[in-house]
Structure 1
Amino acid sequence: MTRSAGRTRRRSRAPGGAGRNLHAEAVATSLQSTYGGWVIIWSAWRQAFTAFSAISTDPMIIDETSVSRLLHRIGEVELAARTPGRSVAGVVDDANVRRATEVMRDRIVCGDWPPGRKILSGEELAPILQVDRRAVHRALSHLERIGYLRTVPDRGTYVRPPSDWP
């Protein structure tokens, strides 16, 4: 960020950004062909990989900026799929978290929660969504990671504009 005349503006990205995106897209394509049952994409806007899996009956989504962390998380998911009762931290695999995420995303997308609106706290949303606070917090975290929400420290969580949505 640079400041000029009391205003803050973003610096333009380095010219190498386009090359990095092309490389990341090629890596995502290569990984997808290597890991059957996974759809892996590169989001240039978020600068992150997203992996979708149909390994289990419930869809799983992993967001990671690093290839090594993504591969580690894919390995964890595949191990959890083979080991009944095992869960993976940070993956939307809990039915309550998934339901809370879908309800909140639907409210954002259909305009019930317009851009700029402050979202209720997890404690306030839990009884409305009929899930526990942990599920609401995980859902809020996931929606923030994929671009629907932004959190401002000591102020709250707000809906981002549609141009920021995936």
Structure 2
Amino acid sequence: MTRAVARTRRRSRASGGAHRNTRAEAVAASLQSAYGGWVIIWSPWRRAFSAFCAVSTDSMIIDEASVSGLLRRIGEVELAARTPGRGADDAARRAAETMRDRIVGGDWPPGRKILSGDELAPILRVDRPTVHRALSHLERVGYLRTVPGKGTYVRPPADWP
């Protein structure tokens, strides 16, 4: 290969050449504006969307060829970040899952005031602080809303994740 041909090839790769996909770049820019805390780019080299979590202390890169796959993976990461952790919060996670199952299953319909933490603790077989961690998790995720001085209520299904 001659030097002129090699230079031409290098220039076409560096400038994007035929690999540039302006539609994918525009989609990545609109996704980044819609998902705060994420940097989303179209990588022509990988031929995939790459998402970097800008608010996480852990380095995380998600590469997906399709927009739907990327959004599904971002949703999984955000849900995992909002879920109570392991170890000491394992009981809070189980309590939150039990309460979520009652909400989704229709045992606790939308608009219903749920029992207080003192009343839920013996039912769920956990201590009061654990119930409060589970309740605050379900409130952050969107299943419950707390009205100060009134109580905690089940939100409508449209607010659920």
Per-residue deviation, residues 130-158 of structure 1 (Å, max 9, x unmatched):
01111100000000000000000100000
Q: CA deviation at 1:30?
A: 1.7
CA contact (8 A) 2:51 2:61 kept: no
The structure richer in helix per residue is 2
Q: Paired residue for 1:129?
A: 124
Q: Paired residue for 1:151?
A: 146
1-structure distance, mates of 2:91, 2:35: 36
Q: Paired residue for 1:79?
A: none
The structure richer in strand per residue is 1
Q: Paired residue for 1:20?
A: 33
Q: CA deviation at 1:18?
A: 8.0
* Identical pairs, percent: 56
1-structure distance, mates of 2:36, 2:154: 31
CA contact (8 A) 2:32 2:39 kept: no
1-structure distance, mates of 2:36, 2:114: 37
Give 5+ residue unaligned stretches, structure 1: 1-16, 44-48, 53-61, 64-89
Q: Paired residue for 1:12?
A: none
Q: CA deviation at 1:41?
A: 2.6
Q: CA deviation at 1:40?
A: 6.4
Q: Paired residue for 1:41?
A: 74
Q: CA deviation at 1:20?
A: 2.8
Of 85, 92, 98, 1:92 maps to 85
1-structure distance, mates of 2:39, 2:61: 16
2-structure distance, mates of 1:135, 1:165: 22
Of 78, 81, 84, 1:50 maps to 78
2-structure distance, mates of 1:96, 1:22: 31
1-structure distance, mates of 2:148, 2:123: 24
SS in 2 for 1:138: helix
2-structure distance, mates of 1:143, 1:135: 13
Q: CA deviation at 1:116?
A: 0.2
Name the TM-score, length of structure 1 as normaliser.
0.55
Q: CA deviation at 1:36?
A: 6.9
SS in 2 for 1:115: coil
Name the TM-score, length of structure 2 as normaliser.
0.56
CA contact (8 A) 2:138 2:144 kept: yes
- 2:143 partner letter: Y
Change (3 A) 1:123 1:40: farther
SS in 2 for 1:30: strand
- 1:92 partner letter: G
Aligned-residue Cα RMSD (Å) equals 3.4
